[in-house]
Amino acid sequence: MIDYIVVGLGVAGISFCEQLDKNGKTYKVISDDSQVSSLVAGGMYNPVILKRFTMAWNADLQLQPALSFYKNLEQKFNIQLDYKIPVLRKFASIIEQNRWFEASDKPRLKAFLNTKIIDNSTEEIDAPFGWGEVLHTGRIDLHQLIKTYREYLISNERLIKQSFDFDALKVHADYIEYGEIKAHRLLFATGFGMRKNPYFNYLPLNGTKGELLTIKVPGLKLSSIVKSSVFIIPLENDLFRVGATYENFDKTNNPTEKGKDELLQKLNTFLNCEYEIVDHKAGVRPTVRDRRPLAGVHPEQKNLFVLNGFGSRGVLVAPTISEQLYNYIENDKELPKEINIERFHKIFAKNS
């Protein structure tokens, strides 16, 4: 009998596994890599919503726990994951500059918005009104994180590489069986795949498809992430990630010409140089109707849990929510109501 089975190995599953490791729990992870939203994400952490110059939900409270989380992983695996890099928001007008200054006076935003306008010094980019700089931002290398964590689990015989088979799951009063494995608890962290989960598919997980391009731009010297109608995120070797789209109807992981054309059209409004498209990816972000994460226990099966709904900010949100869920399960600490799936129990009752 082990303590946990964790289903899913994106940023949500990894963050919960780290809670289990830290607290000496035994566990197995089941993953078939079918949910790719973590792998296709830009990996950026930024506490500010740059369309409206407002603080993202609880981002100022989540930032330091997230940075500590990734630093601990870097030390654990002797790799670099966290690339500190500022975010520059292109101003479209003097009016936007003034809105930026107004936002920078707000107590929660003051520490994150540089009040000095950054002049544009990159001739390949059109930004006549300059940039606003967001502080305490960066990029997490999610490809490296997931690859390294998968290898870590394999080396410790904790990873089962297969699609989860609900027919093989038997839920008892105080433990669960999955094939030959017995565990006290089971956690689902499967992103948009939760829609096919018979235990948690009542939750209003909508899913928003996002597409990203990787382009090669020889000679483009960017030391910051830049945001105009799309983001440009510097990688290495003259490569840059461009994204992202937001599509509510197509729920596949297939890249589309429509998505590519949208990204290129927006990119070409401010990037004035030749470039080569070297990659095009898509994934469905696990977004929720009320734009809050999903964490908690099944209304009837008290050894089944869910961790989901991080949307486009999983890098920032996952460490804090995972710790809150772990403390809820193991230490009887109350989950914040805004993330607790109890807020949707009426839907469950109606569907039962």
Average pLDDT over residues 19-30: 98
- Say if 178 falls within a structural domain: yes
Domain boundary among 228, 254, 285: 285
Q: What is the DSSP string of 286-331?
A: --BTTS--EEEE-SS-TTEEEEE--TT-HHHHHHHHHHHHHHHHHH
Residues 341 and 236 in one domain: no
- Say if 50 falls within a structural domain: no
Q: Provide the Cα torsion 194, 198, 202, 204; round to 10°.
A: 10
pLDDT tens column, 135-163: 999 999 999 999 999 999 999 999 999 99
- Say if 81 falls within a structural domain: no
> Looking at residue 117, which CATH number applies to its domain?
3.30.9.10
- Say if 192 falls within a structural domain: yes
Residues 257 and 340 in one domain: no
DSSP character at residue 236? S
End-to-end, the C-alpha distance of the chain in Å comes to 31
254: containing domain: 86-136+208-285
Domain boundary among 285, 307, 337: 285
Average pLDDT over residues 332-336: 97
Look at residues 290, 318, 287 and name the one whose alpha carbon lies nearest to residue 209: 287
Report whether pLDDT(33) > 90.
Answer: no
pLDDT tens column, 113-138: 999 999 999 999 999 999 999 999 99
Look at residues 155, 142, 160 and name the one whose alpha carbon lies nearest to residue 312: 142
**Pairing state of beta strands 304-308 and 231-234?**
unpaired
C-alpha to C-alpha distance for 160 and 175, rounded to whole angstroms: 19
pLDDT tens column, 207-258: 999 999 999 999 898 989 999 999 999 998 999 999 999 999 999 999 999 9
Residues 6+ apart with CB under 8 A from 55: 47, 48, 49, 108, 109, 112
Look at residues 317, 316, 310 and name the one whose alpha carbon lies nearest to residue 134: 316
pLDDT tens column, 289-324: 999 999 999 999 999 999 999 988 999 999 999 999
pTM recorded for the entire structure: 0.94
Residues 213 and 270 in one domain: yes
Residues 272 and 301 in one domain: no
Provide the pLDDT confidence category of residue 28 given band limits of 50, 70 and 90: very high
Residues 220 and 347 in one domain: no
Count how many domains the chain has. 2
Domain boundary among 266, 285, 304: 285
Residues 180 and 115 in one domain: no
C-alpha to C-alpha distance for 66 and 118, rounded to whole angstroms: 28
> Looking at residue 155, which CATH number applies to its domain?
3.50.50.60
- Say if 74 falls within a structural domain: no
Question: What does the pLDDT read at residue 36?
Answer: 62
- Say if 59 falls within a structural domain: no
Residues 29 and 152 in one domain: yes
- Say if 73 falls within a structural domain: no
Residues 256 and 220 in one domain: yes
Provide the pLDDT confidence category of residue 37 given band limits of 50, 70 and 90: low
